[in-house]
Amino acid sequence: MAVVTFTVKDSVSRAPVAGAYALLSCVIPGVGIVPFDGYSNTNGVVSIDIDDATSVASWSVTKSGYRDAGGTGTPPATVNLEPVAPPATHTLTISATDGGTTDPSPGSYTYTAGASVTVTAVPSSGYTFNRWELDGANVGAANPIAVVMDRNHSLRAVFSAVTPPPKPSMLPILVAVGLGAAAIGGLCYYLSKRRG
């Protein structure tokens, strides 16, 4: 029974990398290539029992946040994993004037650089959506709006109160009723005079 042991380290900090997944493809005579795997411990050490294998054909080591490493034959005594820089991010700060809200709701959100973020203005009853202000500039009233996260942005939804239509006046009705009554009254007076 053979054991393959090696250490996994961060190529920049030289610190041990715990939890890295190691896969060995080993040759077993009369069987062929057989996979054997394991994980690095808190000290970055990987120990894999390869049973009756006579040699290691290839190996690979993977860990989230690092570039994969691998090669042919037995792994070296130390496998250095190169850290991968996290993607750049930008913040979108959303606000709204009185009279409405937004979807997503007002607040600050972090997005990957280059992402397109869709925001919808939602007016309250008695209000209408007026315009968007992106970084202080009026960018129109298209709703929803898509903001490309090429840098930090502030987006404000501006709402306006709806002006109610004027209430109908009773004056024309009263005048019409009054004129009608006068006309009817005048006719009655005329008729009463003719009879008399």
Question: Any idea where the domains of the chain sit in the sequence?
Answer: 3-81, 89-161
Whole-angstrom distance, CA of residue 67 vs CA of residue 53:
28
pLDDT at position 164 is 78
For residue 96, what is the enclosing H or E element?
A: strand 89-96
Whole-angstrom distance, CA of residue 174 vs CA of residue 163:
27
pLDDT band at 165 (very low <50, low <70, confident <90, very high): confident
In this structure, whether the domain defined by 3-81 belongs to CATH 2.60.120.260 is answered with: no
- Please enumerate in sequence order all residues whose Cβ is within 8 A of that of 93, keeping only pairs 6 or more positions apart, or say none: 107, 108, 109, 152, 153, 154, 155
pLDDT digits 0-9 by tens, 65-117? 999 999 999 999 999 999 998 889 999 999 999 999 999 999 999 999 999 99
pLDDT at position 131 is 98
- Closest listed residue to residue 25, CA positions, set 79, 70, 78: 70
